[in-house]
Amino acid sequence: MFGENGSNQSSLPIVPVQLDLDSTFSFTCDPELSCFTKCCRANEIILTPADILKLKHHLSLPSHELLRQYTVPGTIASTELPIPVIKHDEERNNCCIFLGDKGCTVYEARPVACRYYPVASGLFHNKDLESNEVFFAMIKEPVCQGHGLGPEITVRQWREDQGVAPYDEINSPWVEVVLKRKSMGPFINNISDKSLEMFFMASYDIDAFRRFVFFSPFLTIYEIDEDVTEKIREDDQALLNFAMDWLKTTLFGEGLLRIREQVAPEESIEVD
């Protein structure tokens, strides 16, 4: 879909063997291996909405500061949709900006792409079944010495050990939006700059989206239940789900948010 694991790893040598959740492999990552952290130097790691939520909480930063300090703009593969990519530090051999002397400095909040590695995961929309399907594959980079070490493990167990499931769950509504846009194909007119800005804010700059909801005419235009309003005031994950409903409504006309009857159809809200 948007690159394996949500990372821009299209140039990686991925063995073309499809894995499923019960496929087995042996892999051990150990700080004693001479390749330790070499995988944090070459690859571009994109940040999904779940990564942003976890990292901003971990670093106690508002989303716009996290994006400003640690990311550069990227694009989701095969779409024009924007996505933040972790900065590389040119003065330190072009390594990931989060790499420290002893390894990853944000290990507890490391992105889902880093958690999955060396497994690659992706999603595609099965048009025949009208469903989104997940696939897995193995990334085998020559630099990585962990392959073949340790006991056999299933992809399912690897996901569990690496704490991937909560990330996939948080990202699920966003993935739907991306796949929906992608399924429209190249024949649909290019998406407008304003829509791309809306997508970026709703997906990644969650604190800006909260300001947009509470400090613009948003709540006078959309009819939002009071309990939902209270929930999204504080809860980032609930706000992200709400943001995806807003995107599906505004980008794809799904009508998940109700517009108040007295609002003129031409009334709109400016995105900062």
Residues in contact with ligand SF4 by CB under 6 A are 29, 33, 35-40, 45, 96, 98-99, 104, 106, 110-111, 114, 117, 143-146
**Cβ distance to ligand SF4 smaller for residue 106 or 208:** 106
Work out how close the CB of 18 gets to ligand SF4 at its nearest, in angstroms, rounded to a whole number: 21
**Cβ distance to ligand SF4 smaller for residue 107 or 215:** 107
User: Closest Cα partner for 7 from 68, 72, 85?
Assistant: 85
Total length of the chain: 272
**Cβ distance to ligand SF4 smaller for residue 148 or 253:** 148
Could you tell me if 48 and 116 are in contact, meaning their C-beta atoms sit under 8 angstroms apart? no
**Cβ distance to ligand SF4 smaller for residue 65 or 80:** 65
Long-range contacts of 10-16 (CB under 8 A, 24+ apart): 10/77, 12/43, 12/120, 12/139, 12/141, 13/139, 13/140, 13/141, 13/142, 14/120, 14/137, 14/138, 14/139, 14/140, 15/137, 15/138, 15/139, 15/140, 16/137
**Cβ distance to ligand SF4 smaller for residue 114 or 213:** 114
Work out how close the CB of 14 gets to ligand SF4 at its nearest, in angstroms, rounded to a whole number: 15
Work out how close the CB of 86 gets to ligand SF4 at its nearest, in angstroms, rounded to a whole number: 6
**Cβ distance to ligand SF4 smaller for residue 171 or 241:** 171
Work out how close the CB of 100 gets to ligand SF4 at its nearest, in angstroms, rounded to a whole number: 8
Q: How large is the C-alpha radius of gyration of the chain?
A: 20
Work out how close the CB of 102 gets to ligand SF4 at its nearest, in angstroms, rounded to a whole number: 11
The residue type of 150 is: G
Work out how close the CB of 139 gets to ligand SF4 at its nearest, in angstroms, rounded to a whole number: 9
In this structure, the number of other CB atoms found within 10 A of the CB of residue 98 comes to: 22
In this structure, the number of other CB atoms found within 10 A of the CB of residue 86 comes to: 25
